Every structure is written in C-alpha cells, then in structure tokens.
Amino acid sequence: MNIILMGPPGSGKGTQAANLATSLAIHAVSSGDLFRDHQRRNTDLGQLARSYMERGVYVPDDVTIGMITEWINDPDHAAGFVLDGFPRTQAQAQALDEALSDRGGIDHMVFIRVSDDELVRRLGGRVICTECQRPYNLNSSPPATAGKCDYCAGELYQRDDDKAEVVSRRIEVYNQETEPVVDYYRQAGSLSEVDGEQPVDEVATALSEAIGARLVG
C-alpha cells in the first residue's frame, strides 16, 4: 500500500506517518529526515541540502527526486510505504507518478489541514530527538524529562529551521510551491482531507478512516 501524507510544515505529518506505518506494518519515510540523516553523516548530498534547508527553501528537484526514487526502489520497501514531505512541487508529483507506475500507483493521498497561526505556534515549540527523530512540543506534548526523549533517552534539540526567522519563510515557500500541487490533487478528486488541529489521536482516527484502514490495538 502506497500512502502519501501532504500538509504544511508543522501539520503533524511526521508523527502521523510513523504511527500509520507501524499500524500497517509498512515503512514510513520523510524526505526531510533523509536529508537530515545525510547531514549527520556529512555526505555531499547532506552538505548541499543544508545550504537550502537552513534558509527554509526547497532543495532542488533533481536532488530530491533522485534521493526519494532510490528509497522507493529499494527492494526492502516493495511492500509499500507512508511518504511524508514528498511531493512538494509539480515536478516531484510527476516523478512520483512515474516511479510508481509499474507498482500500483498511489493508493491514498491525505491532506492534513492546519491554519498558519497554529503552524507558527507549533513549530516554535517543537524539539526533536537527535537519535530517533521523534518530535515533541514543549507547549502541548513535552517529554517526561526535560531535554530527553521518552523512548530512547536521546538528547532533544530545536531544528535550525524551526527558529522563528526561518519558520515564516518555510510557510511562505509551502504556500507558493506546494499549495498549487495540493490544489491540483484536490481538483482531480484524489485527495482526502483531515482536520489537523484536533488532538493527535483524533487526527490518527480521522486518517485511518480516510484511508479505510483498520488500526490494530
């Protein structure tokens, strides 16, 4: 099953993608996490991505498409996936259709809707685990012990691009470049929508209803 989660930065795609993938026993992948992993390993791709990410703008399409299609074509991911953060441009949407053309295409595409004011509030309070990438929100879902991940005890940090000066740029770039892609899918009737301002569990329920999946446990 190939599922795409769309939504602005801070809409909760990462949290929902991880939960959904666990429930369906498939993989979740986030283009942003793949870029951050390259940065930690200091690869050429990581260095290149950093120069865009720290400004809150998109990494060029050819680089992003190459990285994601390689991930999708990995035999370990043949059973399907939940994709978060891709596609974000028209060229990426087209590349995704091509990459999936001989393996059933996209089964479900869900848009998580959150207002700009709420995004700014969430991104300002977000911290991430350096080890497992799990996100927390210091206002609404803080860790049990300050600065430590509840699951793996890794150190929590604030992403450079969640700092106030970059957040507004990211939302602007999303509205300019990705909102038209979302509109295209919406008009084509391919998109389900869920209200992302509900509590995390209720978003998860709405999401599983939208894709017709039965969550276990």
Which residues sit at the interface with ligand AMP, rule CB under 6 A? 9, 30-32, 35, 52-53, 56, 58-59, 64, 85-86, 88, 92, 161, 170
Toward ligand AMP, which CB reaches closer, 10 or 143? 10
Smallest separation (angstroms) from ligand AMP to the CB of 217: 27
d(C-alpha 107, C-alpha 85), whole Å: 17
Task: Give the single-character DSSP code of 80.
Answer: -
Toward ligand AMP, which CB reaches closer, 84 or 210? 84
Residue 128, beta-bridge partner list: 135, 157
Catalytic residue among 36, 50, 122, 126: 126
Element (H, E) at 203: helix 200-211
Catalytic residue among 36, 50, 88, 122: 88
Toward ligand AMP, which CB reaches closer, 160 or 209? 160
d(C-alpha 111, C-alpha 36), whole Å: 23
36 is an active site residue: no
Position of minimal CB gap to ligand AMP? 32
* Diameter over CA atoms, the chain: 47
Where in the chain does DSSP place strands (E)? Answer: 2-6, 27-30, 81-84, 108-113, 126-129, 135-137, 156-157, 191-195
159 is an active site residue: yes
88 is an active site residue: yes
170 is an active site residue: yes
Catalytic residue among 55, 121, 148, 159: 159
Toward ligand AMP, which CB reaches closer, 59 or 210? 59
148 is an active site residue: no
User: Terminus-to-terminus CA distance in the chain, angstroms?
Assistant: 20
Catalytic residues, by residue number, are 13, 88, 126, 159, 170
